[in-house]
Structure 1
């Protein structure tokens, strides 16, 4: 299916692995020119090497907690490719976890700074050029946790609920400029983040990695009817669609990619 974005310029944060990397891959395969970004010291260069065969791609290190770093990022992308028409903000962390009464302000603020304010800063940098060009696509990353919070990761849940609200607000503010803003809501996807979760669970329970996944699905995610972790490319397919001309009448929507984990009618 032709997504109608050949030649468009896309910027993907969190592009060093997982859902960000696979979103970049599908955008490249659709003909977009792509910049991937992530913090220094990670696997961004590995991701760049992996994606080069799919199309024109560059990598620029940046920190979403720094306005100056984001300004430098957009300047570099504009110089090398042009102003982004598409923004996919996949950067995020699990952040502070544990009993609510034991998570301090620093834990909350770090989680919100990366997950929520990182998205705010990226959108603030991207939207002016999209408005001027009368075409833009923004896809933010929320989570099932936004609408069914888990008590041991409330900072993460709150940050993702805020992303839902931010998405709806931006869609109302800039839809008139043909800048469409939507959100994807993954649940338990096979990524480095959930690998760490399952490694910790395996150690705590004294079981193997696969057994940890099985018990987690049974005990913590009973609504996931497919009884497996999702794949990063399954989320990326939803992202690529929302970035495309095929989604030209979708604005302010939340697309769940969660195997049925959310068991309510809520957004």
Structure 2
């Protein structure tokens, strides 16, 4: 399938690993020029070097909790490439977990800052560039938790529900300008974030990581029909489609890439 995005410019946040990295590699393989944003240094550089073996990537270090750094990132990308056609927001953290009554305001704020407000800042900064050119694709990474909440992950669930609503709102606001906004909702993907979760679970249970994953699937994700962690590439494939010319009639949609984990027919 010809995706029609050769020589487009994509900005990808959370790009040094996981879903962001996998998406960058797929888009680069389609001829897209990639600006990878993350707050890391060494890992970001390593990922860019890897992507440059198949295409073109450029590292931009930025803390998305800081609006000035987001604006500086835009200036760097425009100086490098002159425009931006695609924005994929993958940056995120698990945030505070546990009993609701034990989670502080500060912990709530941290999760919301990274998982919701970072997407707000990125869209507010980069959508005007796409609107000016009359063509754009925005994909925000949400989560199954947005529609199927878990009581021990309330800040994360609330933030991701906000991402879904935000994406739908944006899609209505800017479709007439040629900027198509959609979201993707993964579930239990093999990424550094879920690796850390499973490492903690294994340590707490005094068992292997493999056993921790198996018991997590059985106890915490009983509706995940495929009974395995997803692959970052499986999410990236859907994101890549949504970034392409082939998604020209897809607006305000949420694509679940969750192995069946969400038990209902909700978004």
Contact 1:74 1:83 in 2 (8 A): no
Match of 1:135 in 2: 135
CA deviations 1:94-119 (Å, max 9, x no partner) are 01111000000000001001111000
Q: Which moved more, 1:135-144 or 1:51-60?
A: 51-60
Match of 1:62 in 2: 62
Relative to structure 1, the CA distance from residue 167 to residue 42 in structure 2 (aligned partners, 3 Å threshold; closer, same or farther) is: farther
> What is the CA distance between 1:40 and its match in structure 2?
3.2
Q: Distance in 2 between matches of 1:56 and 1:73?
A: 17
Give secondary structure in 2 for the equivalent of 1:57: strand
After the TM superposition, which parts of structure 1 deviate over 6 Å for at least 4 consecutive aligned residues? none
> What is the CA distance between 1:41 and its match in structure 2?
4.5
CA deviations 1:210-241 (Å, max 9, x no partner) are 00000000111111111110000000000000
Q: Distance in 1 between matches of 2:231 and 2:112?
A: 26
Give secondary structure in 1 for the equivalent of 2:27: helix
Q: Distance in 2 between matches of 1:232 and 1:75?
A: 29
The count of residues paired between Structure 1 and Structure 2 equals 267
Match of 1:173 in 2: 173
Q: Distance in 2 between matches of 1:31 and 1:63?
A: 27
Contact 1:99 1:151 in 2 (8 A): yes
CA deviations 1:14-51 (Å, max 9, x no partner) are 00100000001111011111110100356111111111
Match of 1:35 in 2: 35
Q: Distance in 1 between matches of 2:226 and 2:210?
A: 15
Match of 2:238 in 1: 238
RMSD between aligned residues: 0.8
Q: TM-score, normalised by structure 2?
A: 0.99
Q: Distance in 1 between matches of 2:204 and 2:61?
A: 35
Match of 2:262 in 1: 262
Q: How does 1:63-102 map to 2 (within 5 A)?
A: 63-102=63-102
Match of 1:156 in 2: 156
Q: Distance in 2 between matches of 1:27 and 1:149?
A: 31
Give secondary structure in 2 for the equivalent of 1:106: helix
Q: TM-score, normalised by structure 1?
A: 0.99
Contact 1:136 1:178 in 2 (8 A): yes
Instruction: Could you tell me which runs of 5 or more consecutive residues in structure 2 were left unpaired when the two chains were aligned.
Output: none
Relative to structure 1, the CA distance from residue 258 to residue 42 in structure 2 (aligned partners, 3 Å threshold; closer, same or farther) is: farther
Relative to structure 1, the CA distance from residue 59 to residue 248 in structure 2 (aligned partners, 3 Å threshold; closer, same or farther) is: same
Match of 2:247 in 1: 247
Instruction: Could you tell me which runs of 5 or more consecutive residues in structure 1 were left unpaired when the two chains were aligned.
Output: none
> What is the CA distance between 1:151 and its match in structure 2?
0.5
